Amino acid sequence: MVDTLKNNWGIYGSSSAVVATISCVVPGFAALFGGFVAVLLGFWGAKKHQKLSQTGLLIGGVVLLFANIVNMGIIPAHRFVQSDKVHLINSINGSIRAFDAMKDGKLNDQSREELLEQLRYALNEAKMVDITNVDSQVAGFSDHYSEEFIFGIESLMHGYENNDVFKKLQGGTLLDKWAIWSQENRKDMEKINKPELSFFSFIYGIIVS
């Protein structure tokens, strides 16, 4: 009876299930490694007819396949996980759409509201960026993003909400300075840590979307 229980609840099967579960919540290389180990342990456990071996094999195999697909770029990580880089890109895209609205010439009430909506979106995304974290990757980012981009967006919003010409000019000038700095430091900006997607984050993103 004791031998049977040992065979049923062996170390390989149990370990495979545990490692497979962990691999679901970690991204990148950790998911690849975890999925591979879970499959290997599950295979050995299955040969010894240990419980949970098939579970570990299945979950580990799915995570291993998923991690490879993500690394190939087939699944865009930024759509399912929000990182500093994603929020930064979103904030810049919001400001670009706002400037596109301003290029149309004199704003009517509808286009003015669309402009303000884009500025609010850009500011909201900007405030979700961990500026200190990005500054550790790109020297000088904190000062330029806070004092030029964010303050520039806020000035533009104030200017268009209150028809304040000075604030409009101030906002436009600050954003121009930000654009020049970010262009000069484009290569460093591209090196900001990319978002990493775990299998759990992917499933959660599908459920809540």
Report whether 79 contacts 90 (CB < 8 A).
Answer: no
Q: Share the mean pLDDT of the chain.
A: 85
Q: In this predicted model, what pLDDT tens digit does every residue of 107-151 receive, in sequence order?
A: 777 778 888 999 999 999 999 888 888 888 888 999 999 999 999
pLDDT of residue 26: 85
Percent of the chain with pLDDT over 90: 44
- Please say if the pLDDT value at position 88 is more than 70: yes
Q: In this predicted model, what pLDDT tens digit does every residue of 159-207 receive, in sequence order?
A: 999 989 999 999 999 999 999 999 999 888 888 777 677 788 778 767 7
pLDDT of residue 4: 46
Q: With a threshold of 0.75, does the pTM exceed it?
A: no
Helices 165-184 and 84-102, interaxial angle, to 10°? 130
3-state helix vs strand vs coil in the chain, percent to 5 = 80, 0, 20
Can you tell me the distance from the alpha carbon of 122 to that of 95, in angstroms, rounded to the nearest whole number? 6
Which band of pLDDT confidence, cut at 50, 70 and 90, is reported for residue 104?
Answer: low
Report whether 175 contacts 123 (CB < 8 A).
Answer: no
